[in-house]
Structure 1
C-alpha cells in the first residue's frame, strides 16, 4: 500500500523544470537518477562529500580567524599573511580534490548489500550548454579495482523525457536509467 500511495503522490506533484534553464533540467534529472539508484538497493556513500565539506569548514575557520583576530592591522600583519597563505593552500587542495576524485560525479554508492563485489557505483552526468543531449555515465567508484566493470553510458535528448510544459515523464526516464543500471550489473556478471 505504501508504494501505491507514494506513486499517487508523485502523480499529484509532477516534477517540473524550467526548460529554458539547463541547470534546472540537469538538477532534476540527477535527483531522479539518485532516486532510481537508491530504489535498486544501492546505499549512497557520503565519504567524498563529507571530506569536501570538512575542507570547506577549515577554509571558513581560517577566514573567520583572519577577520576576528583581536589585534588591529599593523600588529597582526604576520598572522594575516599566514591566514591568506593557508586560505589559498586549502582552496587549491579543495579544487584538486574535486578535480581528481569527484570529476563530474554527483553520486557515489556503497556496493550492493550481500554482493560479492567490493566497489560501489560512481554516477556522473553532462548536459552541455546550448545542447539538449543529456549523458549519464555509470562506472565503478574504484576504477582501479579488479572488480571494476567498464563504464556504461546513456545519451539522449532531454526532449524525450520532458513535456513541452517542462514536466518530467518519470516512467520513461526511470525505465532508461534502470536499464542502464541493469546493463552495468550484467557486465559485472559476465566478468
Structure 2
C-alpha cells in the first residue's frame, strides 16, 4: 500500500539569498509575505498591476510609432511632437499611480470569500538601505470604507529569519507574518 505524500512548506526547497545584497533580502521576504497572505484566504487583486501594464504597453506603442513612422524628419515633425507629448503624459500618469496609489505596496488583495468584510488588504514593506530592519504593514485596501480596520505593523531585524548561509527560516518568518495577519483580524473585533 502506498502512502500519499502531502507537500509540507517545511519540505520545500529552501529559499536562499545573498546576505550582502539588500534588494535580494527584501525581495525574498516580500515574495514570502505574498505566499503567506494568499494562503490565509486573501485572493490577490491584480487590477493595479494590469493598469500599469496597460499604460506601459501604450507608452511602448507610442515610442514605436515615433521610431518607425514612414516619413523622414522634417516631414514628420508635428507627428513626433505629438508622440513626445503623449509619451510624457502617459509616463506622468504611470508615475502618479506608482507614487500615490501603490507607494511601497507589495500586495493588494480582495477580502476572503467567506468574510463579511468588504475591503481587502494592502500589504506594504520597507527596508531602508544599509539597515537590517524590515517593516511590514497590513492595512485596509479602502481606508474610507465603513468596514476598514486600523492598520497593523511590525519592525524586526532580518537576522532573526536568516541563517548565516542566507537561507530563510520560513517557519519563524511565517509565524511572525501570520501573527500580524491575526492582529489585523483582532483589530476589527476590538473596534466593534
Secondary structure of the residue aligned to 1:167 is: coil
2:76 is matched with which residue?
Answer: 76
| Residues 162-191 of structure 1: CA deviation (Å, up to 9, x unaligned) | 011100000000000000000001111223
| Residues 139-171 of structure 1: CA deviation (Å, up to 9, x unaligned) | 001111111111100100000000111000000
Deviates further, 1-10 or 172-181? 1-10
What's the offset of the Cα at 1:89? Answer: 0.6
Name the CA distance, whole Å, in 2 between partners of 1:128 and 1:32: 19
RMSD: 1.3
What's the offset of the Cα at 1:3? Answer: 7.5
Name the CA distance, whole Å, in 1 between partners of 2:55 and 2:8: 37
Q: 1:133 to 1:8 in 2, by over 3 A?
A: closer
Name the CA distance, whole Å, in 1 between partners of 2:166 and 2:117: 39
Name the CA distance, whole Å, in 2 between partners of 1:23 and 1:163: 17
| Residues 4-33 of structure 1: CA deviation (Å, up to 9, x unaligned) | 3243641xx210011010100000000000
Secondary structure of the residue aligned to 2:179 is: helix
Q: Show the 5 A alignment for 1:167-182.
A: 167-182=167-182
Ranges in structure 1 where 5+ consecutive residues have no aligned partner: none
Q: Show the 5 A alignment for 1:65-144.
A: 65-144=65-144
Moved over 6 A (4+): none
Q: Show the 5 A alignment for 1:140-159.
A: 140-159=140-159
Q: Show the 5 A alignment for 1:8-27.
A: 9-10=11-12, 13-27=13-27
TM-score, length basis structure 2: 0.95
Q: Show the 5 A alignment for 1:41-52.
A: 41-52=41-52
What's the offset of the Cα at 1:100? Answer: 1.0
Q: 1:9 to 1:78 in 2, by over 3 A?
A: same
Ranges in structure 2 where 5+ consecutive residues have no aligned partner: none
Name the CA distance, whole Å, in 1 between partners of 2:147 and 2:62: 41
> How many positions carry a matched residue from both structures?
189
